[in-house]
Amino acid sequence: MKFARREYRHGFPNQQSCSMSLVCALIALGTACAIASARDRQPIKSYEIEHAVYQICSQGDELIRSKSYAQARDLLLKAASYDPTSYSSYVHEDLARCYRQLKSYQQAISETGMALMFEPDSEDAIYTRALTYYDMDDFDHATSCLQKYVVVSNDSNSRASAQKLIREIGAYSKLKQAARCIGSGRDQQARRYLEMAAQFDPSPVSAQVHGNFAYVLRRNGDTERAVEEAKKSLQFDPNDKSTVYTLGMAYGDLARFDEAIEWIQRYVAMENDAKAKENALNSIKGLEDDREQFNDPANKLPDYVGQLRSQDYCFTWPRKRLPLKVYISSGSGIFGYRPSFDALITRALDTWCDASGKKLDYVLVNDESKACLKVKWTPDALPATTNHPNVLPVGLTEPDLESVEQLREALISIRTVDPYETKRTLEAGECASVAMHEVGHALGVGHSTCMSDIMYFRSSYRQNGLPSMRDKATITRLYDSYPQLNFVPRSKAVTPPTFLPPPAFMPPRPPDVEKLTPPLFLPPPLQSEEKKLQPPLFTPPPVKSPKPDETDRQTTKPPQIPLFVPPPRSEQGKKEGKPANPPLFTPPPAK
């Protein structure tokens, strides 16, 4: 038992030594975890430099919080001069924030690039980079940065916010690009952008996307789809009055007059501007006229010569005037005029002369005094006909009669601007349809009551920019008794412009996108300050290891003297005072 106790006492110091080693290991592990928690940062420079950069960063943060961005920038540039340090990524992230607030966007982008060089997956640098690109209206790069942020972020809420922003930016940016195209008359490009924007539905701008889409589709004759897009827009925003008006006009183009009038009346109830309301009311009167004439039984006849005679506008040119001498005035210096407009006049003349059965012909002259048919360009308003005072004409033909039914001269005037929006110049497709209509008048053809005829008294999307079968039959009948001439087309072989009817009423406006609130970026989802910016860890120099012999002296105990127990004495020996047996061990004699 004593041996066992000695063994126990001898073993206790070793167990205590193991426990102390475990404590030291735990302390070391805790230190390592603390270092790892500081964004896995290990000191790169000396403690003095690291601490100096840490102090600058702390002061920079205070200046940024107080919106002293220029001072913060100057201070942080000093910290950047120590690169690389364990704080370099943080320094350049803060510099990027400063430059962005100072609107030095290119420098902000450069600083986020430096931050990402030191820490490729820095969420803050990626997010700030996205913000900066967004400020620059570079929506594609902003979206790309947000997509990268979604990949690197560990926070599910932040990822969801970024994904929401990606959708909103996509819709907003494509809508803005489409609006620029609409404003410059590039409808086909606008259409492509709007189709892309619609892919992000639902978004805060879905109503404007589909409303603009309806406007572009109607303006380009895709009327049925325009109705569909307008209805989609109104599902997102029933109070968008511009789309309500577009829908009414589209129904008018489809000759669905009752529905058209109903929607325009709804627009009138929503409109507060007195002038716009008056124009809309005139549009309703025009639609009512259209409805009445659309149902005229005479529209089923092969021509409308009888209607022309009843209107007192059924003329012919005398044979002695053929070929007609045509003078086209110079449009040089006139706002909205394009040299290509002249070719649209000769194209219209060729079309009608051919439709007459080649009974008509013309020559171009440079001397106005020798011409009997004159064409002039003007940006100024033209007088409206008394029968339809609610229509602002784009073209006007004034005949000068030689007799009751024969022409002496004719003057065609064509406006080079939109009559309802005079800052907008006339499109080539609009000029082509106006020229075709007015040349028809100049050759003696009056107004039709059928919307699909080019000579209908108003432009319509039911037309295609060329004389209809009824138009051709009418001019053929007017000149039926004339001999056939050696007519040869004089217009150049050019691709005709896309047909665009000029506005017959106050035209719809695309939904306004200038006042739209752009997608709201939340502040960058920064990590906590404790995690982002920790002071550098000071590691004291290691204690010198003791020498081997000193270690032995400290840890090795002196050997114990063996304990000898002599055998017990016999009874006789006890009486005599002597041991019964000799001692087992006799120590050597002392020297």
- pLDDT (average), residues 426-438: 94
Q: In whole angstroms, give the CA distance from residue 221 to residue 227.
A: 11
Per residue in 267-313, pLDDT (tens digit) is 999 999 998 898 899 889 989 989 998 989 999 999 999 999 988 88
Tell me the two tokens of residue 313. 């506008």
Percent of the chain whose pLDDT exceeds 70: 80
Question: Looking at residue 153, what DSSP letter applies?
Answer: -
% of the chain surpassing 90 pLDDT: 59
Strands 407-415 and 395-401: antiparallel
Tell me what pLDDT residue 247 has: 97
Distance from C-alpha of 210 to C-alpha of 235, rounded to nearest angstrom: 10
Q: Is 189 exposed, middle or buried (0-12, 13-18, 19+ CB in 10 A)?
A: middle
Cβ–Cβ under 8 Å, residues 252 and 280: no
The answer to whether domain 183-295 has CATH 3.30.420.40 is: no
Cβ atoms of 119 and 39 within 8 Å: the answer is yes
Instruction: Burial-class residue 147 by CB neighbours within 10 Å (0-12, 13-18, 19+).
Output: middle
* Contacts (Cβ under 8 Å, ≥6 apart) of 96: 108, 109, 111, 112, 115, 125, 128, 129, 132
* Contact of 226 with 211, CB cutoff 8 Å: no
SS3 for 319-379, per residue?
A: HHHCCEEEEECCCCCCCCCCCCHHHHHHHHHHHHHHHCCCCCCEEECCCHHHCCEEEEEEC
How would CATH label the architecture of 303-478?
A: 3-Layer(aba) Sandwich (3.40)
Q: Which two tokens stand for residue 56?
A: 């600058």
Token reading at 439? 């040349």
In the sheet with 373-378, reading across from the earlier edge strand, the strands are 362-364, 324-328, 373-378, 407-415, 395-401
Q: Identify which of 585, 351, 391, 379 has the alpha carbon closest to the alpha carbon of residue 491.
A: 351
| Triad 84, 88, 92: Cα angle to 5° | 130
pLDDT digit string (tens) for 441-491? 999 999 999 999 999 988 888 898 999 999 999 999 999 999 999 999 988
Of 100, 96, 144, residue with least CA distance to 117? 96
Break the chain into its structural domains and give their ranges: 39-154, 183-295, 303-478
- The fold for domain 39-154 equals 1.25.40
Helices 88-101, 69-80: axis angle to 10 degrees equals 150
Which pLDDT tens digit goes with each residue over 528-561? 344 467 777 766 655 555 555 554 455 445 555 5
DSSP 273: -
Confidence of residue 172 (pLDDT cuts 50, 70, 90): very high
Q: Where is average pLDDT lowest: 171-175, 182-186, 505-509, 546-550? A: 546-550
Say if residue 88's pLDDT is above 70: yes
State which H helix or E strand residue 181 sits in: helix 156-183
Alpha carbon distance 267, 246 (integer Å): 10
| Nearest of 179, 169, 167, 127 to residue 148 by alpha carbon | 127
**Other CB atoms within 10 A of residue 387 CB:** 10
pLDDT value, residue 406: 94
Q: Which of 216, 253, 249, 173 is nearest to 518 (CA)?
A: 173
The string of pLDDT tens digits covering residues 346-397 is 999 999 999 999 999 999 999 999 999 999 999 999 987 656 556 788 999 9
Instruction: Report d(CA 444, CA 450) in Å as an integer.
Output: 18
Residue 576 corresponds to which tokens in the numbers above?
């005599």
Do domains 39-154 and 303-478 share one topology? The answer is no
Lowest-confidence pick of 8-12, 36-40, 92-96, 261-265:
8-12
Say if CB 342 and CB 328 are below 8 A apart: yes
User: For residue 334, is pLDDT > 70?
Assistant: yes
Beta bridge partners of 324: 362
**In sequence order, what are the beta bridge partners of 376?**
413
Q: Whole-angstrom Cα distance, residue 48 to residue 41?
A: 16
pLDDT value at 80 more than 90: yes
Question: What does the alpha-carbon distance between residue 365 and residue 372 come to, in Å, rounded to a whole number?
Answer: 10
| Residue given tokens 């051709």 in the structure block | 472
